[in-house]
Amino acid sequence: MDVNDAVRSRLTVREYKPDPIPDEVVHKLLEAGRLAPSSQNLQPWHFVVVRDGETIRRLGELATQGPFVGDAPLAIAIATDDTPRAQLDAGRALQQMELVAWEEGMGTCFVGIRQAEQNQAIKELLGIPDHLVLLTVLPFGYRLNADMGRFGRRNRKSLSEVAHVERFGEAYATIDG
Ligand SMILES: Cc1cc2nc3c(=O)[nH]c(=O)nc-3n(C[C@H](O)[C@H](O)[C@H](O)COP(=O)(O)O)c2cc1C
């Protein structure tokens, strides 16, 4: 899959096959994150790989914005150093992981852990030190429907709404609506 195909077809996936994810695929996902660019090359991210069924089940209970985490065969929690651009950097790392997962026939969903109580409970469950910031828990699994995304369904603002030519307010004349 080339990069443009991956970008155009990727969708958030909230249901997964129960099949386990091979070690080499987990490794690929982690490498995709590790190789991401970051401000000052600080690489302020930490990835916690979770495959234990009981821990994943508990994550599903705690992740109220994404209880489907509990049904995934793999979860990767992303924590960051508490530095100014860390979340932006981690966002780039997780986007790379997401695209590689997509190419592998898998899917994921950014699950935010915004409530302080749940955030703290997940940090404790996974032994994430207090000085780090828990950004998300990403569930990963093979897509139920491998063709998902093939037809490029997108629910997005049009280019003319978000792109400007030369000066803000001069709408880009879109060729594809
Ligand atoms: C920063 C961020 C936070 C998100 N948080 C959640 C979440 O907590 N739960 C959830 O089900 N989806 C979450 N999503 C997924 C979005 O709802 C999804 O990306 C968006 O609706 C566009 O759909 P698509 O990814 O299939 O193109 C999040 C996405 C991003 C980028």
| Domain regions of the chain by residue span | 3-145
Q: Distance from CA of residue 54 to its chain's centroid?
A: 22
Which pLDDT value is given to residue 152? Answer: 58
Residue 68 scores a pLDDT above 80? yes
What spacing in Å lies between the alpha carbon of 165 and ligand 1's midpoint?
A: 29
Instruction: Tell me the CA–centroid distance for residue 82 and ligand 1, in Å.
Output: 23
Residue 162 to residue 171: CA distance in whole angstroms: 8
Statement: residue 177 has pLDDT above 50:
no
What is the C-alpha separation between 13 and 109, in angstroms, rounded?
6
- Residue 64 Cβ inside 6 Å of ligand 1? The answer reads no
Q: CA 27, 31, 118: angle at the middle one, nearest 5? A: 80
**Hey, is 1 helix, strand or coil?**
coil
Alpha carbons 170 and 158: distance in angstroms, whole number = 14
Question: Does ligand 1 have an atom closer than 6 angstroms to the CB of 112?
Answer: yes
Task: Round to whole Å and give the CA distance between 90 and 39.
Answer: 10
CA of 155 relative to ligand 1 center, distance in Å = 12
Task: Taking residues 76-84, report their average pLDDT.
Answer: 97
The rounded mean pLDDT for the chain is 94
pTM: 0.95
Residue-wise pLDDT for 142-176, tens only, equals 999 888 876 656 789 999 999 999 999 998 986 65
Tell me, using a 6 A CB cutoff, whether residue 141 lines ligand 1.
no
> Is 70 exceeded by the pLDDT of residue 5?
yes
Instruction: State whether CATH 3.40.109.10 applies to domain 3-145.
Output: yes
pLDDT at 173: 86
The 10s digit of each residue's pLDDT in 123-136 is 999 999 999 999 99
Reported as a single tens digit per residue, the pLDDT across 13-54 is: 999 999 999 999 999 999 999 999 999 999 999 999 999 999
Q: Answer whether 67 contacts ligand 1 (Cβ < 6 A).
A: no
